[in-house]
Amino acid sequence: MLREPLFFAETSFLIDHFHSTGHSKCSRACFLSEYANADPSLSKINSSVAECGNGGIKKIRKSVSYMGQQRAIIYTKVYLSMWNRTKSLRMSREVAESSSDS
């Protein structure tokens, strides 16, 4: 945030529901649950999405560990692009199926 203040100017970094338990020294302003109390639409956010992403990255961890930095970055980018595309297609199919059922 210090290197790119303009890029992060409109970004909030919050502690998700799962990780907020046990954070007794953090201000309540750091918790997503506090923001959701003020704006109920925020309770729809999947606050564990990063954990899901970490699970996906674990699948390529061993392969990447044997690569040089440049190749590992390319491999990870391609993997994440394919993963995101697959998820996007699946979501599009689900929306199309649910709208055709109506």
Tens digits of residue pLDDT in 77-88: 999 999 989 989
The verdict on 1 and 24 lying in the same domain is: yes
The verdict on 14 and 59 lying in the same domain is: no
The verdict on 57 and 102 lying in the same domain is: yes
C-alpha to C-alpha distance for 72 and 61, rounded to whole angstroms: 10
Domain region containing 56? 49-102
The verdict on 65 and 36 lying in the same domain is: no
Number of folded domains that form the chain: 2
Per residue in 28-77, pLDDT (tens digit) is 888 888 888 888 888 888 777 777 777 888 999 999 999 999 999 999 99
0.75 surpassed by pTM:
no
Per residue in 3-31, pLDDT (tens digit) is 889 999 988 888 887 777 777 788 888 88
C-alpha to C-alpha distance for 22 and 24, rounded to whole angstroms: 6
- Give percent of the chain above pLDDT 70: 99
